[in-house]
Structure 1
């Protein structure tokens, strides 16, 4: 018992000692900070791991996300005004009750596509499963989104 008391005292002092160089004083604060919430893998019954398509009008634009890569198209893609492919990684994060994809396109354009669950009346009189908000520069556009397979196939290039 006499040996146990000094060992307990040492253990108590060690627990109260200041942080060492290898353990910064704010390490406990970092450990206590909440981790960023993981992005959902499903939203409004839509499997977000599958190809997605968001489509807006006035002005016309689409953002397609396949295997973590986004492709952005707008009217200039169809008129031949764009020379660089506008693709880039789409990094999802939880955003309130939805998911936000941070996208940096190959031409340097930063785009954010935010999806939330809920019926969305599409231009083609269809109801899509997701609402979409596209933000880039000082512009914000709202639209609808769904699985790519829920939309008609694109016409073959030719």
Structure 2
């Protein structure tokens, strides 16, 4: 996803994320809530690939199933299930709305990040449902949502692309 800062595509939510992650330049890529790789060169791609492969090898701690409804705003409904043997404590549940603007490589431009749900706790095997709404309407044909659960240490436990229902 493309979080903009300091340009015409920036939003208060994306500016806040740039501050949270202490972004010092663009492109800056964070994998799994950390693992910063800066730059857009062939050498940075090699660094990105190593990090991506390492992160993809990890078993997920949770499973997420979600749907998104548009029209007069956006509502994302998701069920998160702890599929690990360990409890999940003090995690945060996020929804990030992004849009394909259709030009200049702006395919995953973040448009809104509704307030996350904090202090999510799940015992092994436990499920919890979330309903998150946004007033952002965008273009219903190009708006999409990524849903994820972020551990208290910053690690992304699982993410999914929300399907329109």
User: Normalising by structure 1, what TM-score?
Assistant: 0.25
Q: Which has the higher contact order (CA 8 A, sep 6+)?
A: 2
TM-score, normalised with respect to structure 2: 0.24
